[in-house]
Amino acid sequence: MPSWYAQRVFRYEQMRFDQEPRRARLPFEWGLEHIGGDPRDPDPAGAMERFVEDAIARSDEWYAAAPAGDYALADNVLTFTSAVESPWRENNRVYGQLFRAQDSGPAVVVLAQWNSRWEEQQSVCRWLNKLGITAVKMSLPYHDRRSIPGHPRADHLVGANIGLTIQANRQAVLDVRRTLRWLEEQGYHRLGILGTSIGSSIGFITMCHEPAVRAAAFLHASTYFGDVVAAGLTTKNVWESIEPAASLEQVRRYWMPISPFPYIHKLRGAGKKMFAITGRYDPTFPPALTQALFDKMREESVPFENLWLPCGHYSLGVAPFSYIAGYRFGRFLARSLNGAPKV
């Protein structure tokens, strides 16, 4: 039986989950058209398997992104066209809130959690500014100013449409890389990433494929995209639509290209610095999956630092855990990108 403390954390997590009433339960779809396939393919599972094998084998090409040709900055909001053209024009314009610390030096792309709002994590960016780090908080696909009609939540970044979810997460990685190219154009060359929840998954994959990223801090971490959706509290409405149509093993395989696990080996010998802060009682990113990720990184001789806190997923964002996490990831990024002394 969980301890009284763990039960208290779980009750808090459930309460926070219950406060979000607008979750759509969309139908299961293969979505082959979103990954260059034929939606009328008589063997969609086979087509998906072939796609997955090819995408992972050539992930460097699949995740490659040239700089945007239309960067614009107005009132500290960066905009540009996404490298991926989704079916919705609203989603194809990327927005990034710029929090400038200085005209050069270190800079971090901040990737917030699923369904984060425009104003969320602005205090995180200001904290990074105090440490001498410029921050760009990038809106994820289908979020805030990129949301699409009829979907106030980002149903298509994590959804029951297999191919569309793949497209959206690949789009996010390419958007991050285009943001990094803009930062380089502005004179920033000590670059990092700060990711929370799904932002950590997107950030991890970016770090594995982007040579310019020197350091990354992640709040919550896991192995496979599909496992989190199947086991996580906040994605239960998504899994309820998928489960009758596909097993966990199948979904794990289909969403392998947008999972951190297949790319861990790319970090071996890369000289990158990584720090993960995780919740010991997290019902959304189950600790067993987090531990499996850490074990695999050790097996692959990938250096990293980690901190387990006695909290869950939502509760990492409240005091005292938010203060502990903020202090630790801030000092880590300052030390890794600024050369500040270890505290």
The domain segmentation of the chain, as residue ranges, is: 4-338
Q: Binning pLDDT at 50, 70 and 90, where does residue 338 land?
A: confident
Q: How far is CA 29 from the centre of its chain?
A: 23
Q: Are 125 and 110 in contact (CB under 8 A)?
A: yes
Supply 276's token pair. Answer: 């993960």
Helices of type H across the chain: 4-18, 44-57, 59-62, 122-130, 162-185, 198-209, 225-231, 236-242, 248-254, 287-299, 321-338
Question: How many CB atoms sit inside 10 A of residue 306's CB?
Answer: 16
Please compute the mean of the pLDDT values over residues 165-182 and round it to a whole number. Answer: 98
DSSP assignment string, 268-305: TTS--EEEEEEETT-SSS-HHHHHHHHHHHHHTT---E
Question: How many CB atoms sit inside 10 A of residue 40's CB?
Answer: 8
Please compute the mean of the pLDDT values over residues 207-226 and round it to a whole number. Answer: 97
DSSP 90: G
% of the chain surpassing 70 pLDDT: 98
User: What pLDDT sits at residue 341?
Assistant: 39
Question: How many CB atoms sit inside 10 A of residue 142's CB?
Answer: 26
Assign 3-state DSSP to the chain and report helix, strand, coil percentages, each to 5.
45, 15, 40
Q: Binning pLDDT at 50, 70 and 90, where does residue 343 land?
A: very low
4-338 belongs to which CATH class? alpha beta
Q: Binning pLDDT at 50, 70 and 90, where does residue 1 land?
A: low
Which residues are paired to 29 by β-bridges? 161
Q: Binning pLDDT at 50, 70 and 90, where does residue 103 land?
A: confident
96-105, 171-180, 255-264, 284-293: least confidently modelled range = 96-105
| CA pair distance 278, 123, nearest whole angstrom | 20
Residue with tokens 């410029």: 134
User: What pLDDT sits at residue 115?
Assistant: 93
Q: Does 303 have pLDDT greater than 70?
A: yes
Q: Are 144 and 227 in contact (CB under 8 A)?
A: no
Please compute the mean of the pLDDT values over residues 230-240 and round it to a whole number. Answer: 95
| CA pair distance 26, 10, nearest whole angstrom | 26
Tens-place pLDDT, residues 33-50: 999 999 999 999 999 999
Vertex 288: Cα angle to 282 and 294 (nearest 5): 105
Q: Binning pLDDT at 50, 70 and 90, where does residue 93 land?
A: very high
